[in-house]
Amino acid sequence: MPPDPYLTLTAITKAFTPGHPVLDNVTVAFRRGEIHAILGENGAGKSTLLNILFGMYQPDMGGILLEGREVIHRSPADAIANRIGMVHQHFKLVPTFTVAENLRLAAPPAIRPSLARNADIARLADSFGLSIDPKAIVSTLPLSLQQRVEILKALINKAELVLFDEPTTILNPAEIAAFYKVLRQIAAAGRAVVVVTHHLNEVVDHAQHASVIRRGKLISSGPVAGRAREDFVRDMVGHEVDLSAALDGTGEAPGAVRLSLQNVSVAATPSSSGLRDTSLTLRAGEVVGIAGVEGNGQRELFELVAGALTPDSGTVEAGRSHADGRPRVGLVPEDRHQEGLVLDLPIAVNLLLNKIDEAPYARAGRLNHAAITARAEEMRAASDVRSRNVHVTPRILSGGNQQKIVLARAMNEDADIIAVYQPTRGLDVAASEEILRRLRDAANGGRAVLFISSNLDEIMRISDRIIIFYAGRAVGEVNGRASREEIGALMTGGAAH
């Protein structure tokens, strides 16, 4: 007999536009001592559910029972007063303040005196297993440490239920392991923990309870023990998805060299090692995975290939170039919202952003809207972008649909190289599989694919060759069948010394 729930969301219904409920009669219960995972496709309603619990939206119907007592959260302040903490996907910190200042700002007046000295804060942080330098300016911290500050904010407010919305999308594998260690500790102290995630491994490895939402309806909610990843996927998407479907190459030897970087160097920055005298070649028909801990030169590599950066020394040569000298490459950048899309221009323009000044989309400097719309509709259909039409902006689409636009544009580039950077970040399993499938097909069709990611599982599944970056250099190369241990050792510089 499981213990009584600490908090229950009862029959929550919410519609942003009348007649189209985003949540439909959802009931879930969270227990103390448990890590409770919430799963669902992009747009299923997960964030909305947490936001309702945290007082940011009001449910149309249904309510919240806290230890059996009905409570109403009109604003986050009400939720915090009821000992609920939330760590959002986009942090709510003052970037120019120090860690200590941010924590004092968030603390209730009663607690503030006990945080007066930095040493108090350091001690408190240590006691939660969340060591951090109280004097550090938040904007200079890596995202994993900023996340710690957010968690500390919740704990200082004496949260008994802590909500996390996709906390691990910004973390690398080592940080993910450390993160769940912290969560286990928080739960072991008798608190309830809720985590929204797209990574099923995390659910199977760390959560005790999982609830699956599909298009706003609760499909299942129960203990994780005894359930496999495939079960969750079926609940999420409504049909089977083969998560280990082969993403194999054609078996033929790779073709001509499409891209070659010779001895390139780029200066280091505080957050990155830059590149140091690194060389790399990419051939037709192959997927080359770039593995490594973030900040070891991946961003510079992508920007060099994109032609957005010129190396301090060394050369970048592509088979074909644009008129302005940039290599001709189809690009899927890391930051979908800032670099991949212009969120406030229509989908049609986004799909053809790289060709908007070429015929037939433009003639003598004049846009041909008919041609743009026609081609964009074609691309939308081929890539299965789910939107009303191509005239709406991508801002209102789910992450998966946004990424389909970026990928469709990359594929539509007249290039024989495609460079992708964290292509499945924040996407649900089905959307991720689809993106991987398309990239593999592109390679099998003769293109060369550069696949930069911090998701080692994906790299291992799709790559023909894996190059490991450490401290701005390619420190090792293994073939696609190499073991995780071998790659992991190289990633931490182990085999380089």
Partner 1 sequence: MTATITETKTGWPDRINEAARKLTQGYALVVIIAFAASLAVGLLILAALGVSPWQALSVMINGAFGSRMAIGDTLVFMTPRLMTALAALIAIRCGFYNLGAEGQLQLGAVGAVLPATMLPHSLGLLLLPISLISGAIFGALWGLIPAVLKLWRGANEIIVTLMMNFIGIYFVKYLVEGPLQPAGSNFNMSAKIANAAQLPLLLPGTRLHLGAVIAVVTAALLWFLLYHSTFGIRLRAAGLSPRAARLQGMPLSRLILSSMLISGAIAGVGGAIEVLGVQYRLIEGFSSDFGFDGLAVALLGGLEPLGAVIVALYFGAINSGTIALQSVLSIPSAMAMIMSGLPILFLATIQGFRLVKGRK
Write out the residues near ligand ATP by the rule CB under 6 A.
Answer: 16, 22, 40, 42-48, 396, 398-399
Site string for partner 1, 299-318 (x = CB under 8 A): -------xxx----------
Q: Which stretch binds partner 1 (CB under 8 A): 32-40, 135-143, 218-226, 335-343?
A: 335-343
Question: Is 356 a residue that touches partner 1 (CB under 8 A)?
Answer: yes
Site string for Mg ion, 410-449 (x = CB under 5 A): ----------------------------------------
Closest CB to Mg ion among residues 197, 273: 197
Alpha helices, DSSP H only, in 82-142? 99-106, 118-127
Q: What is the spatial distance between Cα 17 and Cα 197, in angstroms, rounded to a whole number?
A: 26
Give one DSSP letter per residue of 428-477, joined into a string.
Answer: -HHHHHHHHHHHHHHHHTT-EEEEE-S-HHHHHHH-SEEEEEETTEEEEE
We find the least distance from the C-beta atom of residue 290 to partner 1, in angstroms, to be: 18
Give one DSSP letter per residue of 405-419, joined into a string.
Answer: HHHHHHHHSS-SEEE
Q: Please answer whether residues 455 and 280 qualify as being in contact, where contact means their C-beta atoms are separated by less than 8 angstroms.
A: no
103 binds, among ligand ATP, partner 1, Mg ion, none (CB under 5 to 8 A by kind): none
We find the least distance from the C-beta atom of residue 348 to partner 1, in angstroms, to be: 5
Question: Is 373 a residue that touches partner 1 (CB under 8 A)?
Answer: yes
Q: Are strands 192-196 and 209-214 parallel, antiparallel or unpaired?
A: unpaired
Q: What is the spatial distance between Cα 76 and Cα 308, in angstroms, rounded to a whole number?
A: 41
Q: Are strands 287-291 and 465-470 parallel, antiparallel or unpaired?
A: parallel
Q: What is the spatial distance between Cα 297 and Cα 447, in angstroms, rounded to a whole number?
A: 24
Q: What is the spatial distance between Cα 239 and Cα 244, in angstroms, rounded to a whole number?
A: 15
CB within 8 A of 450, min separation 6: which ones? 259, 282, 288, 290, 305, 417, 418, 419, 420
Closest CB to ligand ATP among residues 216, 295: 216
Closest CB to partner 1 among residues 391, 437: 391
The Cβ of residue 139 has, within 10 Å, a number of other Cβ atoms equal to 11
Q: Which stretch binds partner 1 (CB under 8 A): 197-205, 363-371, 470-478, 481-489?
A: 363-371
Tokens of 263: 């001895």
Q: What is the spatial distance between Cα 377 and Cα 357, in angstroms, rounded to a whole number?
A: 18
Closest CB to partner 1 among residues 69, 366: 366
Residues 153-212 that bind partner 1 (CB under 8 A): none
Site string for partner 1, 27-66 (x = CB under 8 A): ------------------------x----x----------
> CA–CA distance from 44 to each of 163, 196, 236, 304 (Å)?
17, 11, 9, 37
393 binds, among Mg ion, ligand ATP, partner 1, none (CB under 5 to 8 A by kind): partner 1
Residues 383-442 that bind partner 1 (CB under 8 A): 390-393
In the three-class reduction of DSSP (H, G, I as helix; E, B as strand; rest coil), residue 16 is classed as strand
Q: Which stretch binds partner 1 (CB under 8 A): 137-145, 153-161, 342-350, 449-457?
A: 342-350
We find the least distance from the C-beta atom of residue 170 to partner 1, in angstroms, to be: 18
Q: Please answer whether residues 405 and 341 qualify as being in contact, where contact means their C-beta atoms are separated by less than 8 angstroms.
A: yes
Q: Please answer whether residues 481 and 461 qualify as being in contact, where contact means their C-beta atoms are separated by less than 8 angstroms.
A: no
365 binds, among partner 1, Mg ion, ligand ATP, none (CB under 5 to 8 A by kind): partner 1
We find the least distance from the C-beta atom of residue 488 to partner 1, in angstroms, to be: 31
Give one DSSP letter per residue of 155-201, joined into a string.
Answer: HHTT-SEEEEESTTTT--HHHHHHHHHHHHHHHHTT-EEEEE-S-HH
We find the least distance from the C-beta atom of residue 123 to partner 1, in angstroms, to be: 33
Site string for Mg ion, 21-60 (x = CB under 5 A): --------------------------x-------------
Question: Is 18 a residue that touches partner 1 (CB under 8 A)?
Answer: no
Q: Which stretch binds partner 1 (CB under 8 A): 113-121, 209-217, 234-242, 345-353?
A: 345-353
For residue 360, say if its preceding peptide bond is cis, omega within 30 degrees of 0.
yes
DSSP state of 254: P
292 binds, among Mg ion, ligand ATP, partner 1, none (CB under 5 to 8 A by kind): none
Q: Please answer whether residues 450 and 305 qualify as being in contact, where contact means their C-beta atoms are separated by less than 8 angstroms.
A: yes
We find the least distance from the C-beta atom of residue 202 to ligand ATP, in angstroms, to be: 14
Select the residue interacting with partner 1 from 53, 241, 341, 420 (CB under 8 A).
341
Q: Which residues contact partner 1 (rule: CB under 8 A)?
A: 51, 56, 306-308, 322, 324, 326, 331, 333, 335, 338-346, 348-349, 353-354, 356-357, 362, 365-367, 369-370, 372-373, 390-393
Residues in contact with Mg ion by the rule CB under 5 A: 47
